[in-house]
Structures are given as C-alpha cells and as structure tokens.
Amino acid sequence: MKLLHLGSSWPEERPGGVPRYFTELTASLAARGHEVLALAAGRSPPGSAGLTAQSLGLLGTSLPKRWRATRRLSAKALADGYIPCIHYLPHGMALLDALGKRPFVYYFHGPASLEARVEGRSEIFCRTVDAVERAFYRRASVVACLSEAFAQIVIGHYGVDSARVIVIPGGLGEPWFGSVADSQAAREQLGWSASKAHILAVRRLVRRVGIDHLLQALACPERLNSVVLHVVGEGPLRAVLKEKSIALGLKETVCFHGMVPDQLLPSFYAAADFTVIPSLELEGFGMAAIESLALGTPVLATPIGGLPEILRPFDPSCMTRDTSPEALREGIEAMLAFALTPEYRCHCRGYAKHSYYSSGLVVRHEEDIYQHLADLEPIFRKTWF
C-alpha cells in the first residue's frame, strides 16, 4: 500500500517518545513492503527501500511555513492515492481542504487541551484547542490510540464515535531486541559508580509527569542513601526541579542529563537498575516502559493512564499504590529488594519481546486499518468526484 505519514518532528533533533514512535512505525511499514512517504519538521533521517523521509522545515520554522511545505510535499502523494495517516494535528490542519471527504487515520498521541490545562495555560487557549481537536478527531475515519485509557478520552471527552476508535499499542523495532544489554559495560561507558543503585526517569519535564513527587520520595537519606536518580529529558520545569532537588538535599543524588541522543538512550536504560515513571495524570501509553523492558531493565510506575495496561499483565508489583511521594518511596524500596537479579532482567526482556510490543506484531494491526481505509476509497471517489 501507499502511505503518507505526517508527524510532528524527527527524533534526531528533538528526541522523544512520539518522534521515536513515528520513526519506528514508518521504517517498519517500509520494511514490510509498503511505499511510505514520511513528513515531519527538523532534519530528516536517510530514507531506505520503500521509505522517503522529508522535512517540513527546520525546528522553529513558523507554522504557516510548515503548512505550505506540508501541502507542497503531500500534493503528489494524495493525487497518487496515498492513504493519509496523521500523527500531529497542527500539521494535519494544512491538509483538511486537500483531503475533502477522503478517508484518513489520525494517531492520537495525547489530549493537547487537557494537557495545556494541567500546565496552567489560559482557559481561552484551552477551550480553543479543545474545539479544534473535537472537530478534527470527529472528521477522521479512524482514530488510533496507543491505550484503552486514551481511547476512553477520545470517546468520552471529544465525542468521537466508539466504532471509529481503535487501540493499537506502540511497538519497538528489532534494534531494541538485538544483543543482550551489558549493564556493567553501559555503566562504565557513562561513568556511573559501580557502588550505587541507579534509577532512571526518561521524561518531558512538565507538571503531569510527576518528577517533583519522585524528588520528594528520594528525600529520605536514612532509607535511600545509596540511590542515584538520573533524569533524562527537557522541559519548562527543569530549572525549578533542579532548584527543588538542591533544596531537598539531593544535589549529589539527582543528575539532570537534559536531552540524550536516541542512539545513546539504550545505554542509559541498560545502565540503570530500574526505570521510574511517576506520572500524575494523562499518561497515554508510556513508551519509556517498553523501551526499558526491551533492554531488560525493570520498571516502576504509578497506576495512571495506559501504564497499568503494560505492567499489570507482566508483574503487578511494578505498580505503586498511588501517585504520592510515600507510595513512590515504598515502590523504590521494594524494587531494590527484588528486581535487581539477572533472572528478573531476563523476565523483563522476554515479556517485551514476546508480547505485542514488538513492531512486527503492531504493524500487522496497522495494516488492517489501512486496508479498511483503502476499501472506503472507491466509495469516496465514486461519491465525490
């Protein structure tokens, strides 16, 4: 099939779960023999057999310029019958006129208006974004969600017909499941102490992800004096969180690494004793959870959004009882007591590899969506042209 995938940004310049998901998915589809045109902002990666990756402009390019690039680069593909697959609403809006009544799939990666409200944006801004989201999602032929938790938001909050909402969890490509990760070698590579327990949080530094609760959980030196927390990620709260860590007496306990290149991220996972995902709300899926498990690194997470859908079938003890700092502290102590053995790391890796989180299995479900849209296309052409 011919597929047009429209994303937010390429991960080389803006690392993150959604850009990595977009890149993994388009590459996996091309490897399955599909003809894929993938468009996103930033420096695009090299193409491959079946995959053409193009840039909508450098990061920071104005939205109107990215709209013009979206229309220009998509025009021939749409005329040639490529199935539109939209991952990023601001870029997708550029194609509404060109799409007309053409069937398309929208990949729902998060409720932008609800996230904006949590982060303290103005009410008028949140309502405006909410209205745009509702109109766009209801226009889509299929809305694909990474978790049942997000599907319920799409149906309940945005009013999309449940018959047009499908849940397909995220998947990882074969490189994540390649050679067994060597924890000791990874620590030596990163310069981490061999005498400490290292925990990792790969997060965008905003309110809803709960890093402040995690810092409070660690502010208990008599119980967690051998632990070092490594925070990977950027966001508007970085300076605030760094100041808070110092105020809590955690200057030597918490390392803020900023953004880490995607090619180095597996080493961080491998070097860690376990990964912590302390989300407070609106956690749609948690790509960090399956990335960590794929490399054999256990995960501790709060019972928010799509995280229980990943972790409860694997090991319910990987979930905290709630989102409080006290529950996180208890969870960290429990993980230090039982989850550091080589056998448990193998268990993590096996679950990720043999469950539905490998991209090969995920792509087969994606193909079902595209076939559905392809079946609608002749009706669309007969009716509207």
Q: Look at residue 360 in the predicted model and tell me its pLDDT.
A: 64
pLDDT digits (tens, 9 = 90+) for 171-221: 777 777 766 668 889 999 999 998 899 999 999 999 999 999 999 999 986
For residues 229 and 218, the answer to whether their CB atoms sit within 8 Å is yes
pLDDT band at 359 (very low <50, low <70, confident <90, very high): low
In sequence order, what are the beta bridge partners of 199? Answer: 229, 274
| The token pair that represents 346 in the structure block | 């193998």
Q: What is the C-alpha to C-alpha distance for residues 294 and 117, in angstroms, rounded to an integer?
A: 33
Closest CA to 103 of 373, 382, 375, 384: 373
Q: 100 vs 132, which has greater pLDDT?
A: 132
Torsion angle in degrees (nearest 10) through CA of 378, 380, 382, 385 = -130
What's the mean pLDDT in 141-145? 94
Ramachandran sector of residue 50 (left: φ over 0; alpha: ψ -120 to 50; beta: rest): left
Helices (H), the chain: 17-31, 63-79, 89-92, 96-99, 112-118, 123-139, 148-156, 183-190, 211-218, 221-224, 238-247, 265-271, 287-294, 307-311, 325-338, 342-354, 359-384
For residues 107 and 154, the answer to whether their CB atoms sit within 8 Å is no
Q: What is the C-alpha to C-alpha distance for residues 366 and 249, in angstroms, rounded to an integer?
A: 48
pLDDT digits (tens, 9 = 90+) for 224-261: 778 999 999 999 999 999 999 999 999 989 999 999 98
Does residue 115 surpass a pLDDT of 50? yes
Q: What is the C-alpha to C-alpha distance for residues 263 and 75, in angstroms, rounded to an integer?
A: 33
pLDDT digits (tens, 9 = 90+) for 28-81: 899 889 999 999 999 888 778 889 999 999 888 999 999 999 999 999 999 999
Domain boundaries, given as residue ranges, for the chain:
2-171+358-380, 174-354
Q: What is the DSSP letter of 299?
A: E
Does residue 126 surpass a pLDDT of 70? yes
Residue 209 vs residues 212, 217, 241, 357: alpha-carbon distances, Å:
9, 14, 12, 22
Closest CA to 103 of 367, 369, 380: 380
Given this chain, do its domains 2-171+358-380 and 174-354 carry the same CATH topology? yes
Using alpha carbons only, what angle is made at residue 300 by residues 295 and 301, rounded to the nearest 5 degrees? 115
Q: What is the C-alpha to C-alpha distance for residues 305 and 84, in angstroms, rounded to an integer?
A: 28
Percent of the chain with pLDDT over 90: 66
| The token pair that represents 286 in the structure block | 């948690």
Q: Look at residue 320 in the predicted model and tell me its pLDDT.
A: 97
Q: Look at residue 383 in the predicted model and tell me its pLDDT.
A: 36
Q: What is the DSSP letter of 10?
A: -
Looking at domain 2-171+358-380, its CATH class is alpha beta
Q: What is the C-alpha to C-alpha distance for residues 179 and 135, in angstroms, rounded to an integer?
A: 45
Radius of gyration of the chain (CA): 21
pLDDT digits (tens, 9 = 90+) for 39-51: 999 988 877 888 9
Q: What is the C-alpha to C-alpha distance for residues 293 and 177, in angstroms, rounded to an integer?
A: 10
What's the mean pLDDT in 104-115? 94
Residue 150 CB burial class (10 angstroms; 0-12, 13-18, ≥19)? buried
For residues 107 and 86, the answer to whether their CB atoms sit within 8 Å is yes
Q: Which CATH superfamily is domain 174-354 in?
A: Glycogen Phosphorylase B; (3.40.50.2000)
Q: Look at residue 35 in the predicted model and tell me its pLDDT.
A: 95
